[in-house]
Structure 1
Amino acid sequence: MTKHNKAYMFRLYPTDKQALLIHKTFGCVRFVYNKMLAERKETYETLKEDKEALKKAKHPTPAKYKKEVEWLKEVDSLALANAQLNLDKAYKAFFKGNAKFPKFKSKRHKQSYTTNLVNGNIELMDGHIKLPKLKMVKIKRHRQIPSDHKIKSCTISMTSSGRYYISILTEYEKEVKDKEIKNVVGLDFVMDGLFVDSETGKKANYPRFYRQMLDKLAIEQRKLSRKKKGSSNWNKQRIRVAKIQEKVANQRKNFLHHKSKELVSNYDAIVIEDLDMKGLAQALKFGKSVADNGWGIFTSFLQYKLKEQGKQLVKIDKWFPSTKTCSSCGSVREITLSERTYQCTCGLTLNRDYNSALNIKKEGMRLLAQLPNVDIKLNFNQWGFSFIPH
């Protein structure tokens, strides 16, 4: 049996006293993180020429600051310990060349802290959750956590609109066997509908929630810009704007969750292009449309849901000429952005996005056939492939 992790997010409803302690913990975690980072930065600047001395250098811990600052003792000690672990991860990522040098956290940074399960200090009950220092906090459990899932840690966070959430990380044991691949679908990213699939040629019909809310958001943002920054009225208006933005984000996530679940339920392998969405948004000046679709979130949802069921997500190279290639005869020709129909000398006339989705599926099937230990039961001859699957 293999161990797996899964997180469940719920809404929290703390009392005023509990909310005050949560805010204190946010501040203490930020304070400890920044103090440790400042000392590490000083050590790094002093010893960066001597790598051996830098490796052996001792780093500060939250216990050191507790002796100096009394109010650090008021909050959960595990939250402070996790701040140290987060800084350690950031440093390791920097030295491996995977990230930039860690930055100091400001009050505008995401407000959150993580605590761990130790000696039954975290416990889920009917309508409440027991947490270190906070004790019993009201929780809205819109879904049940399976009984075989053991709680490992909890992350408490607050959104810009002042709502509190808890992400419960669980661990469970499950033997995930690779599924026999029978049904494959190719998805071609489109700006105005999320994707076109290779089976029906239809768009996902993403509702474009951000565009729907754009006029209302613009009105509220203009009101915010006319108020004195930092004033009571400015803060009230800031929360109104934040609530609109959060509603859009929640609507988007809900749609993407349902759409990804539908695809994962119906197919054994899903093929997509490995697109650079940031570069695409900048190059075509379609930043709002690209961000509204949430393609990056959608692909991450597909990935973990497919993995849970032993299914495959195949990413083909972004330079693969899916749009330029004829899905019938395989010939390649140049096609402009304004051409919405692909016409080939072989007689094929097809919507360009549907044609692209078919090509993505074909390339994905070719890549799947080259993977070791993947059981594939497909009729490859119908696609004109000359290779034999493993």
Structure 2
Amino acid sequence: MDKVIYRGYKFKIIPTKEQKEFFLQSFGCARKIYNHYVDELYNQLEKSCYENGLIKRENIKISNYTEFKRNYDYMKNVDAQCLASAKIDFNNAITKFNKEYDKKTYTKKSRNREKTLGIKPTFKDLKGMPSFRSIKKNDFSYRTYNSYYNGKWSNIILENQLLKLPKLKTVVKVKQHRSLPTNSIIKNCTISMDNKGVFYASLCVEYVIDIVPKQINKAKILGLDYSQKDFYVDSEGKKSNYPHYYRKSEEKLKRLQRNLSRKTLKSKNWYKQRQKITTLQKHIANQRMDWIHKESRNIADKYDAVIVEDINLCNMAQCLKLGKNIHDNGFGMFRVFIKYKLEEQGKQFVKVDKWFPSSKLCNCCGTIKEDLQLSDRWYKCECGYENDRDYNAALNIRDCGTRLIA
């Protein structure tokens, strides 16, 4: 069975001085177009006396970016797709606000400002509301799209570690650490710059693979139960022993943030110190991402089916005692990675309902222990069965998922 796959590949690029100027100008133009749309949105919402709730598109008239482009000659020097992508991003931001947010809750920052300064929050402070992009927030990126012309995709080409981009007269050198899939098509490319001035090219690639559904061996079905301490405990009794990268770097991060608080706000030294904090946080995120990719690959190659619990990690993170650990673990990202790696091999990824009492259920007799507390780390049943709480839950998740597969 043929299946179309979309994957992202991110490579470091080494642009020349002229190419850097072109990229920086593109970043600025994309940011200006996006901010223009946000400004128009705010003005129209103010006129309509909007306070909260759904943003109705029929009540908002957004001008075309080509009309705005005529007022600035320098916008003719950048790729037209760069400006079009800014409008697409703005429309996606409104769609995300309407679909994913409750459209009534204000941000924590605005609520604190109301307590300390007495400034009442407005619709601009609603969670998820499209906001202005800023240079100080490191919004340096633009996206361009490939086009099909004369029987081939010719706008964006990556060959021999050289990247051809629209509107750019010369090719860009790429540090290509891995090759793209055979017969793949580059659909779009996002050029970005981090806080240290390093440029990256992120390619969205489309390719077709032949997926053969794999016959599942019951001996190769794995159940995973989320664990605060060990990341997960599987149905074979193994613990992942996740190295808590944030915890290891927490003291160093505290020192850097303490030094930042002593600097004059928005001074040169303040920005230098903030860059050090950003660099360390990015390093921690890269460590976490690398570990999750390797762990998910090992499991996907070894087992025919993986079963996890469909727990809501965002709600769990609201708890003060659990929040920091949940954000450090990245278990939600782990589930996403392991899912696509299994599906590419014709294997199965199953989610058990979040209301399934995996921790309270006895794996031996099936009795549900209603009085089980979160502090009870050892499961004891009236039938005499005793086991580690997380291991018992992993066994129950595996058995429930096996029934769903059958």
Question: What TM-score, normalized to structure 1?
Answer: 0.85
Spell out the pairing of 1:2-17 with structure 2 (5 A cutoff): 2-17=3-18
- Residue equivalent to 1:121: 155
**Aligned to 1:283, what secondary structure does the other structure show?**
coil
Higher mean displacement: 331-340 or 33-42: 33-42
- Residue equivalent to 2:244: 208
1:130 and 2:164 aligned? yes
1:337 and 2:366 aligned? no
Counterpart Cα distance in 2 of 1:48 and 1:310: 53
Q: In structure 1, which of residues 229, 234, 242 is the aligned counterpart of residue 270 of structure 2?
A: 234
Let me know the Cα RMSD of the aligned residues.
2.6
Higher mean displacement: 69-78 or 103-112: 103-112
- Residue equivalent to 2:34: 33
Q: In structure 1, which of residues 196, 218, 221 is the aligned counterpart of residue 254 of structure 2?
A: 218
- Residue equivalent to 1:74: 77
- Residue equivalent to 1:158: 193
Counterpart Cα distance in 2 of 1:267 and 1:324: 26
Amino acid in the other structure paired with 1:33: Y
| Structure 2: unaligned runs, 5 residues or longer | 51-55, 103-127
> Is the 2:181–2:207 contact (alpha carbons within 8 Å) kept by the matching residues of 1?
no
- Residue equivalent to 1:358: 395
The 1:2/1:338 distance shift into structure 2, 3 A limit, reads closer
* Cα displacement string for residues 63-122 of structure 1 (whole angstroms, at most 9, x for unaligned residues): 111211112112221111111122233344455677855333333264321111235232
**Aligned to 1:327, what secondary structure does the other structure show?**
coil
The 1:222/1:44 distance shift into structure 2, 3 A limit, reads closer
> Is the 1:176–1:310 contact (alpha carbons within 8 Å) kept by the matching residues of 2?
yes
The 1:5/1:284 distance shift into structure 2, 3 A limit, reads same
> Is the 2:231–2:241 contact (alpha carbons within 8 Å) kept by the matching residues of 1?
yes
Counterpart Cα distance in 2 of 1:162 and 1:351: 49
> Is the 1:149–1:172 contact (alpha carbons within 8 Å) kept by the matching residues of 2?
yes
> Is the 2:41–2:60 contact (alpha carbons within 8 Å) kept by the matching residues of 1?
no
> Is the 1:157–1:166 contact (alpha carbons within 8 Å) kept by the matching residues of 2?
yes
Counterpart Cα distance in 1 of 2:179 and 2:394: 37
Q: In structure 2, which of residues 177, 182, 186 is the aligned counterpart of residue 142 of structure 1?
A: 177
- Residue equivalent to 2:115: none
Counterpart Cα distance in 2 of 1:356 and 1:86: 42
Higher mean displacement: 296-305 or 99-108: 99-108
Higher mean displacement: 337-346 or 79-88: 337-346
Aligned-residue sequence identity (percent) comes to 41
- Residue equivalent to 2:87: 84
Counterpart Cα distance in 2 of 1:25 and 1:65: 15
> Is the 2:138–2:195 contact (alpha carbons within 8 Å) kept by the matching residues of 1?
no
* Cα displacement string for residues 315-340 of structure 1 (whole angstroms, at most 9, x for unaligned residues): 11222211111111111112223322
> How far 1:294 sits from its partner (Å)?
0.7
* Cα displacement string for residues 7-66 of structure 1 (whole angstroms, at most 9, x for unaligned residues): 1111223334433332222221121112133335555676899xxx96497642221112
- Residue equivalent to 2:107: none
> How far 1:256 sits from its partner (Å)?
0.2
> How far 1:242 sits from its partner (Å)?
1.5
- Residue equivalent to 2:67: 64
* Cα displacement string for residues 146-170 of structure 1 (whole angstroms, at most 9, x for unaligned residues): 2311111101122334332221011
**Aligned to 1:124, what secondary structure does the other structure show?**
strand
- Residue equivalent to 1:103: 131
* Cα displacement string for residues 113-132 of structure 1 (whole angstroms, at most 9, x for unaligned residues): 11112352322133332223
